[in-house]
């Protein structure tokens, strides 16, 4: 029984990230996500939200970038409106596919059915 539990939890832990993804591939994807986030904010974001830009530049792992999506959403909403910001953050969120542990991925919200 214990052996079965260890196998299950060992397998469960591996499901968060594809087994064949090398560290260099993950690092490359992380940099692509970082650049996409910086591009979304643009030069105006660089001027108006320097602390968020600094956090983006110095985030040390994929999870750090994932958690910055809220700040990016707030900044983009103030720059372009909430609808545009939500769309941009959704596009950024897709880029994280396969890089995060299962508990950190986006879930479908029941509120999405009410969006027009």
Domain boundaries of the chain, sorted by first residue: 24-95
**Contact by Cβ (8 Å): 40, 92:** yes
Does residue 61 carry a pLDDT above 70? yes
- Kind plus residue range of the DSSP H or E element containing 11: helix 2-14
Q: Name 12's Cβ contacts closer than 8 Å, sequence gap at least 6.
A: 102
- Please give the residue that has the higher pLDDT: either 1 or 105: 105
pLDDT of residue 106: 58
Does residue 38 carry a pLDDT above 80? yes
Q: Which residue reads 């979304």 in tokens?
A: 40
pLDDT of residue 101: 81
Q: Which pTM was predicted? A: 0.72
When pLDDT is cut at 50, 70 and 90, the band that residue 66 belongs to is very high
Does residue 43 carry a pLDDT above 70? yes
- The full DSSP string for 47-69 is HH-HHHHHHHHH--SHHHHHHTH
Q: What is the mean pLDDT of residues 53-78?
A: 97
Q: Name 101's Cβ contacts closer than 8 Å, sequence gap at least 6.
A: 16, 17
Does residue 116 carry a pLDDT above 60? no
- Please give the residue that has the higher pLDDT: either 19 or 58: 58
């Amino acid at each position: 029984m214990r052996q079965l539990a260890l196998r299950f939890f060992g397998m469960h832990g591996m499901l968060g990230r594809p087994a064949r993804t090398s560290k260099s591939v993950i690092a490359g994807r992380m940099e692509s996500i970082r650049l996409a986030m910086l591009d979304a904010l643009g030069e105006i974001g660089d001027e108006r939200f320097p602390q968020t830009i600094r956090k983006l530049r110095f985030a040390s792992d994929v999870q750090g970038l994932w958690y910055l999506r809220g700040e990016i959403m707030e900044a983009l909403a103030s720059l372009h409106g909430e609808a545009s910001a939500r769309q941009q953050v959704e596009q950024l969120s897709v880029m994280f596919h396969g890089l995060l542990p299962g508990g950190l991925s986006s879930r479908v919200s029941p509120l999405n059915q009410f969006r027009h």
